[in-house]
Amino acid sequence: MTGQTKRVVVAMAALALTASSLAVWADEDADLVVNGEIEMVVRTDAPAHLDGAVRTIYSGWVFRQDDTQAMQMDDFDNPGMLFAEQGQELFNTAMGANGESCASCHTNAEDLTRVRATYPKWDEAHGAVQTVEMQVQECQTESMGMAEAWGQNSQEMLNMTAYIASIGRGQVIDVAIDGPAQATWDAGKEIYYTRYGQLELSCANCHEQNYGNYIRADHLSQGQINGFPTYRLKNARLNGTHNRFRGCIRDTRGETFAIGSDEFIALELYVASRGNGLTVEGPSVRN
């Protein structure tokens, strides 16, 4: 080895700078275990009601690069958990005229373990399919005496739904699509396959026909929502399902539906049902 080479080697040993995003590629075969204990199902056979549209369903985690994947494998590295913790505080905070907190009724939060895995869900009393957000709003206005419930896309609601998802992590998603929910599911399916906007793109064009492919630098996932709300590295905050739907339709150069609209409730039920068999991951980490 020449002296010149040696000096360079010494210098290399002395200062190294690594941008994690350079060091990684999506490991589509990786398995997800969070905190070394919560085993997630990130790929499994598609539910029968997809009629073979896809053979295997994949969590969006599978399509992310190694460092993004790693951030979800440990709660300390997952910034979304900061917001789940704030949601837990809200859960135990009295709100509304009756001086009650969520915990006043739900004395054991573990009783809510299956909530994220089974919503949206038909609500007999209201005669409609309800999202988790609508259920929280119902508790606030009908039980807790709040004049105005949190907005569906408010930070409080995102924190609360992150907390509710976090206690259901690892639960297998099993959203009911038959019985009274069927008409809503049918409506959601119709939306899923409709080509919106001036670009004439449906959900299926990207997330059913082209998952695993790249659009420019975007690695297309199946558009599963089992990881919501999700902490996106792009905007460094929690993102709700309907807000993400809105972003996708906006990107078709289309007129979006509103967050909380009947259309998005139907689409949420339908897309959630496409993930039946995956596990609850929220708050997940995505790009």
Provide the annotated active-site residues.
248
Residue 237 structure tokens: 């905050």
Report the relative pairing of strands 56-58 and 121-123 from DSSP bridges.
unpaired
User: How many C-beta atoms lie closer than 10 Å to residue 195's C-beta?
Assistant: 13
> Whole-number minimum distance, CB 242 to other proteins, in Å?
12
Residue 249 as a binder of other proteins (CB under 8 A): the answer is: yes
Residue 252 as a binder of other proteins (CB under 8 A): the answer is: yes
Rule CB under 8 A: which of 61-100 touch other proteins? 62, 64-65, 67-68, 71, 76-77, 79, 82-83, 85-86
Residue 154 as a binder of other proteins (CB under 8 A): the answer is: no
Cis peptide bond N-terminal to 283, omega within 30:
yes
Is the CB of 118 or the CB of 261 nearer to other proteins?
A: 261
| Spatial CB neighbours of 175, under 8 Å, sequence gap ≥ 6 | 117, 118, 119, 120, 121, 269, 272, 273, 275, 276
Closest CA to 261 of 249, 251, 253, 273: 249
Is the CB of 100 or the CB of 156 nearer to other proteins?
A: 156
Residue 19 as a binder of other proteins (CB under 8 A): the answer is: yes
> Whole-number minimum distance, CB 1 to other proteins, in Å?
17
Sign of torsion over alpha carbons 18, 19, 25, 29: positive
Contact in structure between 169 and 145 (CB atoms under 8 Å) = no
> Whole-number minimum distance, CB 37 to other proteins, in Å?
16
Residue 185 as a binder of other proteins (CB under 8 A): the answer is: no
Q: Contact letters (x/-) for other proteins, 216-235, by CB under 8 A?
A: xxxxx------------xxx
The only residue of 1, 14, 48, 125 in contact with other proteins, by rule CB under 8 A: 14
> Whole-number minimum distance, CB 175 to other proteins, in Å?
24
